[in-house]
Amino acid sequence: MTSPGTRADEEAEDLDVEEALALVNENPGPPHGDHDHAAPPTHAEHPHNQGQYGSHGYRDHHGHQDGHGGQDGHGPHDRHGAPHGPSDPHHRATPWPEARATAEHAARTAARAAHRAPVSVPLDAALGLSLATPLTALTDLPSFDTSAMDGWAVAGPGPWTVRDKSVLAGHAEPAPLTDGEAVRIATGARIPPGATVVLRTEHGRADDKGRLQATRGVVHGQDIRPCGQECRSGDQLLPVGTLATPAVLGLAAAAGYDTLTTVPRPRVDVLVLGDELLTEGLPHDGLIRDVLGPMLPPWLRALGAEIRSVRRIGDDAKVLHRAITTSVADLIVTTGGTAAGPVDHVHPVLRRIGAELLVDGVEVRPGHPMLLARLKADRHLVGLPGNPLAAVSGLLTLAEPLLRTLAARPAPERYALPLRDAVQGHPYDTRLVPVVLRGDGAVPLRYHGPAMLRGIAAADALAVVPPGGARPGQEAELLDLPWAAGGIGVCFT
């Protein structure tokens, strides 16, 4: 999470950021008429709190009442007004926590089936990979008694006669000292045999006979880092599964490593569906910019993936079929085409190739048509809905646990913070709502409609809002975004 202390530039940023935050209660809706999920009513206005369903009832992304009002009699087995898959309008979507667990479990099974061997990579290529073997010290650290300060290495009690030659870092073993002798020494240099103390430059002066005197008391061993203070050769420094952060790379170098043995990144092919997508310029004639092509690859990489390819393949079932059946990636991520429209080809193609749908719709808003399919024992497909924030929801619900597990990354520590404002809930589904972290709380953002990225682009995390919503001050679980401090931002390389 982002702590207030990490935002040194916060004050300078404040105006712009606050503007972008577009906090949830300040404005009833976005300016351009798309009111999908935006500006939910406050807690007091929440239908559940009123004991009746008023004009603020939850609307789905099409602006339809979604049936939670009780007026349509939708029971738990038929609670989404629209079908998730074209084949079975009454099948049950998977609860959100279960969907994440299913993705993690699928990856564990796939990892066992795939037997991908660990890879040895140079340190500068290891950032973001998980250690496949423990990091064991190949040397003592420090590997010799070292001066911690610039000053004099002295032997025995003063005053001391100072030798002419200095001892510098990076040089061979210096000549031994005998009691009453001193030699100039640099930080990081080897301590001469016989030296008992390092006297800092600022704590010594020459007396009238030209001898070195201490200007304050000295303690035996002071400012000497003894060999092996940090570790002994053979000590385990880090366990298997540690994420190679910049600090880990530094420690590995200190401990004598040139390469690290790591779990290979799971390989991902991205297939962007949709005939309406432009790759440059302004929207025109019903065509819009492809936002998932630019957004997903770096995000997936931050989640541990190696992106093998990104293809825009339009709404063509044949091309989709071929792209899926010829891929050798561990994971295919498709975008769009998950719902029930005439050109939503993902379900029909998966059916045709006999894929096993592990998750077919999730009880989460946005993103409920997301899916997870097993193509082969060690190959999966995550179908992200085309609406951009719905795609993010699918990314964090299905792709994140899957990739994390395949990449053998540790699960992020779960945490919750109080929400500063009320968040209207869906009656049955979990909601994922972009928030910024401020002080000890999370501030929900506006512009969180399924087709909008304005909220998430200003966010630090997604708050997991349980069915029924959250009161101001109520704690909500937070899913960090990879670029938030404390996340896995180290992997944007």
Ligand X SMILES: Nc1nc2c(c(=O)[nH]1)N[C@H]1C(S)=C(S)[C@@H](COP(=O)(O)OP(=O)(O)OC[C@H]3O[C@@H](n4cnc5c(N)ncnc54)[C@H](O)[C@@H]3O)O[C@H]1N2
What residues make contact with ligand X under the rule CB under 6 A? Answer: 61, 82-84, 272-274, 276-277, 288, 290-292, 335-341, 344, 366, 368-369, 385-388, 390, 450
Residue 67 touching ligand MOO (CB under 6 A): no
CB atoms within 10 A of CB 265: 23
Instruction: Give the C-alpha separation, 365 to 465, whole Å.
Output: 10
Binding at 274: pick from ligand X, ligand MOO, none (beta carbon under 5-8 Å per type): ligand X
Residue from 192, 336, 366, 427 that binds ligand MOO (CB under 6 A)?
Answer: 366
CB atoms within 10 A of CB 120: 13
Least CB distance from residue 346 to ligand X, whole Å? 7
Residue 8 makes CB contacts below 8 A (sequence gap 6+) with none
Q: Which stretch binds ligand MOO (CB under 6 A): 232-240, 374-382, 385-393, 435-443?
A: 385-393
Q: Which is nearer to ligand X, 66 or 104 (CB)?
A: 66
Residue 94 touching ligand MOO (CB under 6 A): no
| Amino acid occupying residue 429 | D
Query: H or E stretch including 404?
Result: helix 400-406
Residue 383 touching ligand MOO (CB under 6 A): no
In the shown chain, the binding pattern of residues 205 to 234 toward ligand MOO, with x for contact by CB under 6 A and - for none, equals ------------------------------
Query: H or E stretch including 435?
Result: strand 430-438
Residue from 68, 184, 267, 368 that binds ligand MOO (CB under 6 A)?
Answer: 368
Residue 337 touching ligand MOO (CB under 6 A): no
Q: Which is nearer to ligand MOO, 384 or 408 (CB)?
A: 384
Residue from 2, 262, 387, 397 that binds ligand MOO (CB under 6 A)?
Answer: 387
| Amino acid occupying residue 224 | I
Least CB distance from residue 365 to ligand MOO, whole Å? 5
Q: Phi, psi at residue 11, to the nearest 5°?
A: -65, -45
Residue 61 touching ligand MOO (CB under 6 A): yes
Q: Which stretch binds ligand MOO (CB under 6 A): 198-206, 256-264, 382-390, 430-438?
A: 382-390
Q: Are 358 and 102 in contact (CB under 8 A)?
A: yes
Instruction: Give the C-alpha separation, 477 to 493, whole Å.
Output: 28
Least CB distance from residue 334 to ligand X, whole Å? 9
Q: By C-alpha distance, which of 479, 476, 467, 446 is closest to 80?
A: 467
Q: By C-alpha distance, which of 452, 467, 480, 298 is closest to 390?
A: 452
Total residues at the site for ligand MOO (CB under 6 A)? Answer: 10
Instruction: Give the C-alpha separation, 30 to 249, whole Å.
Output: 45
Q: 179: number of CA atoms within 13 Å, CB side?
A: 2
- Contact positions vs ligand MOO (CB under 6 A): 61, 365-369, 385, 387, 390, 450
